[in-house]
Structures are given as structure tokens and as C-alpha cells.
Amino acid sequence: MSELPQVEGVTHHWVRARGVEFHYAEAGSGDDVVLCLHGWPQHWYEWRHLMPALADRYRVIAPDLRGFGWSEALKDGYEKENLADDVLAILDELGIERVKLVGHDWGGWIGFLLCLREPQRFERYLSLNILPPWTSMRVMAPHLWRFWYQWVISSPGLGYQLHRSGKFVPKVLVGASVRKEVWDEETIHAFSDTFTEPDRARAAVQMYRVFNLREAPAIGRGRYAKAHLQVPTKLVFGTGDTALNHNLLAGYEHHADDMQVEKVDNCGHFIADELPQLVAERAREFFAA
């Protein structure tokens, strides 16, 4: 296993839920909980800036999703609805009934699924650089070329070798950012080194393979077409995202009771890393409302 990076004021714990051993990082204390869900190719350390920034007011918990970071890497179970089940099970094991939620990338997608399924458990949701699951394939079609990296990752053998090489993840982190100066060597290695382990390389591949082969076709058939979001939500989106086009965010008013969208210029996909102070400010403002 790779060595856990350390952040002042952040402690590390493990919990067993649904038969899987999950790692989670924690900062702060109290009954008012903020849950942070990371995306690919990251883990809890994505929230290294946000956790200390919120710890004076909240208990902040950042789990590693199945197969990522220091959580157990199983061969299967990477359907996003199943990963949502994992998150709910972690909360149940920790005795946490209701949280404020932050999610980015796949963690953001899973966050939407959680809020749609169990709105009573999520007080507010801050979503970062992810499209809502009700975005139609008809609207997405002209932009599918942006997902070339997903097809590369999903390719038999190739995606696995790319992750294990230690060279692919750094290129993704830097290449998908506008503010490339945020990626020092230590931070890049904190993310990329975990994927050099065989089981975690396979998990990353499965994350995309099951989506493209099973989940995307179901979405295309309208799986979330009638989804309605009750949880108050704020979506903050870096407009320099090369994979997800911010112009596709139109029409969300028909699917959400209370959803705000803020587009942030001069920022790419990894907004929590590129503009950590802005994300912390938006979290504090939105969660205190």
C-alpha cells in the first residue's frame, strides 16, 4: 500500500460496511456533518484544503470510494448506484443520519444519485464539476468526443497498464486543469502512486467500463429522465473543463426544486484543487444558509 499523505488536523479511520473495508479521513467534531465524495483519479486527499477550512464548524468526513485510496479494492461492484449504497452503509455504520454533502466528478454523480434516492438524509448538496444524471443523451451526443479518455481507460489491458505506469494519472491531473501550477510533485504522487497497485488500477478501469457498457445505455433509455431533486443544491463548475461542457447545464430548473449554478472562469475540471479557497467559501456560505 502507498503511504497515507498527512494533513494537519485530519485523522484516519477504517469502517466495515456491506462486507467491504472502507478508509475515511476525518476533521473537526460535532453532530453537524459534512460528507465529501471524491472523483477519479483521486481519493480523500482531494479534500486536503476543504477539510481544515470547515473543521472549525463541522465534523468533516471524506471516505475513499470502493477500490480507491486506502479502501478495499474488490473485483466488482463499481456501478454508481452500488457505490451510492456503499456511502449510505458507511453513514449507517458511523451512526450518522443526516449530512451536508460535497461531491466532485464521480463523487458528484454519486452525490446526485444519493440526493435523488434518499433526500431526507441530505440537508444540502454542493456539487462540483459534474453534469446531473438527467442530462439527456440527445443533448450530450455532439459532445461525446470529449469522453475519449473513458474509452481508453475502458479498453482491455490498455487502461490497466496506463494506470499502473504512474505516468497517465499525472497527465490527466495537469492536463485537465487551467491552473496547472497547483500540481506539485508531492501532490501528484499522492494520487498517482495508489493506481500503480494492480487492484486499484483494475478498480479505476471498472469505474468506467461498467459505466460505458451498462450504465450509459440505461441512461440513454431514460433511466433518470424524470428524476426530480428535492435537496437544495448548488453546482459550482469550472468553465475550462475539457471533458464536461458547462453549456449542457441548461434546463435543470425542470428537475430541481432549489438548484443554483455558478460558472467559474479560469478554472478547469479539478476545481477543489485549482480554487480551494473559492470552494471553501462557497461551502461555508451555502451550508450556513
Burial-class residue 247 by CB neighbours within 10 Å (0-12, 13-18, 19+).
Answer: exposed
3 lies in some domain: no
| DSSP assignments along the chain, one per residue | -PPPP--TT-EEEEEEETTEEEEEEEES-SS-EEEEE--TT--GGGGTTHHHHHTTTSEEEEEPPTTSTTS---SS---HHHHHHHHHHHHHHTT---EEEEEETHHHHHHHHHHHH-GGGEEEEEEES---TT--HHHHGGGGGGGHHHHHHHSTTHHHHHHHHSSHHHHHHHHT-S-GGG--HHHHHHHHGGGGSHHHHHHHHHHHHHIIIIIHHHHHTTTTTT--B-S-EEEEEETT-SSS-GGGGTTGGGTBSSEEEEEESS--S-HHHHSHHHHHHHHHHHHH-
31 lies in some domain: yes
| pLDDT number for residue 139 | 81
Nearest to 129 by CA among 200, 235, 287, 9: 235
| pLDDT number for residue 106 | 98
pTM above 0.85, yes or no: yes
Q: What are phi and psi of 62, to 5 degrees?
A: -130, 95
Q: In CATH, what number is assigned to the domain containing residue 281?
A: 3.40.50.1820
75 lies in some domain: yes
Rounded Cα distance, 14 and 144, in Å: 38
Q: Residue type for 238, please?
A: G
- Residues 42/28, Cβ–Cβ less than 8 Å: no
| pLDDT number for residue 141 | 81
94 lies in some domain: yes
Number of domains observed in the structure of the chain: 1
Nearest to 84 by CA among 118, 51, 59: 118
Residue by residue, pLDDT tens for the chain (289 residues) are: 788 999 999 999 999 999 999 999 999 999 999 999 999 999 999 999 999 999 999 999 999 999 999 999 999 999 999 999 999 999 999 999 999 999 999 999 999 999 999 999 999 999 999 999 998 878 888 888 889 999 999 999 999 999 999 999 999 999 999 999 999 999 999 999 999 999 999 999 999 999 999 999 999 999 999 999 999 999 999 999 999 999 899 888 899 999 999 999 999 999 999 999 999 999 999 999 8
CA distances from 62 to 26, 52, 206, 256 (A): 6, 12, 22, 26
178 lies in some domain: yes
Rounded Cα distance, 161 and 202, in Å: 9
261 lies in some domain: yes
196 lies in some domain: yes
| pLDDT number for residue 64 | 98
211 lies in some domain: yes
Domain that holds residue 145: 11-288
| pLDDT number for residue 250 | 82
Rounded Cα distance, 112 and 121, in Å: 12
- Residues 268/245, Cβ–Cβ less than 8 Å: no
